[in-house]
Amino acid sequence: MKKDDCPVVVICGASAGVGRATAHAFAAAGYAVGLLARSDQGLAAATAELEAYATPTLAISADVADANAVALAAQRFEAELGPIDVWVNSAMVTVFAAIEQLTPEEIRRVTEVTYLGAVHGTLAALPLMRARNRGVIIQVGSALAYRAIPLQSAYCAAKFALRGFTDSLRCELIHQRSEVKVCMVQLPAINTPQFDWARNKLGQRVQPVPPIHDPGVAARAILSVASAPPRELWVGLPTLKAIIGNQFFPGLLDRLLARRAWQGQLSEGEPEPAGDNLFHSVDGLHEVQGRFTRRSRGHALALSSTRVTALLGTCAVLLLLLLI
């Protein structure tokens, strides 16, 4: 299965949504692709799709909440595909509910997958990359890693935690003069199946807070940082507005989101009775896109956090000069 001239990427959460779209993007770019997810059915479908690119693929079924399973999968990816160049942590679960509706078990599970799953992936990839002093670890984040919203407290908290973990890791790699790089890609609302298989206690169908973007937007952004990773990549104008706005006007955003983000996440109709994927995978919904394709944007602005900071600094200097 090894192909010496292929770089290797491993994608966690590869059976659907952003992870599956990212697998397509890397395969099209000539990468050998390792797919990791819980669903055998979803992995089989993703693998079949990737055959069109004529690059090696390997699918392994594992729950990212199981650190040992992820570590063993990493060893197998290396043995069968070759040295891992890029590791993408994209697996996630969420619960749509007000905080008083959540149980400790639900909060724990969201944390185990969305936060600890990325930690487990990082811990599995890091020693392999350190041995060669090269490699890129990409954390798939969200605007919600900076600005929390109502009805997704456990998910927001997990993304906040992942950002803190990643910042610590980045500092350590710099201190150690390591050539291993880490980048967090902060995404806007994406049209994925999660809104039909997430646990939902709200009594209505749920949706991303508009504007909604196609998973291809996320996949292209993730691929773009693999060769020259910035500190962070902020994708979509809504992400930039949320992150920058929260730095300057957090109290105002509290009130705006209290009014708009609650209803903004509700859609018409009752939730589908097919079950949810919080503790077990759900077959039949493993696709790249969700049900919002007609409302999804195919393109989005993407800027590194460093460039945004530089632009804001330049604007501040110009404003100061005008006031003098």
Active site residues: 155
Contact 285, 13 (CB under 8 A): no
Reported as half-sphere exposure (CB side, CA atoms, 13 A), residue 239 has a value of 26
CA distances from 155 to 52, 106, 145 (A): 34, 11, 9
Q: 288 φ, ψ to 5°?
A: -70, -45
Cis ω on the peptide bond leading into residue 211 (within 30° of 0)?
yes
User: Among residues 90, 153, 158, 157, which one has the least CA distance to residue 121?
Assistant: 90
Reported as half-sphere exposure (CB side, CA atoms, 13 A), residue 215 has a value of 24
Nearby residues of 118 by Cβ (< 8 Å), 6 or more positions away:
12, 64, 89, 91, 139, 140, 162, 165
Secondary structure E strands in 90-180:
95-96, 136-142
Nearby residues of 221 by Cβ (< 8 Å), 6 or more positions away:
185, 187, 233, 235, 300, 302
Secondary structure E strands in 188-263:
199-200, 212-213, 232-235
**Strands 95-96 and 181-187, how do they pair?**
unpaired
Q: Within 10 Å of residue 290's Cβ, how many Cβ atoms?
A: 22
Contact 192, 247 (CB under 8 A): no
The CA angle 77-79-80, to the nearest 5 degrees, is 70
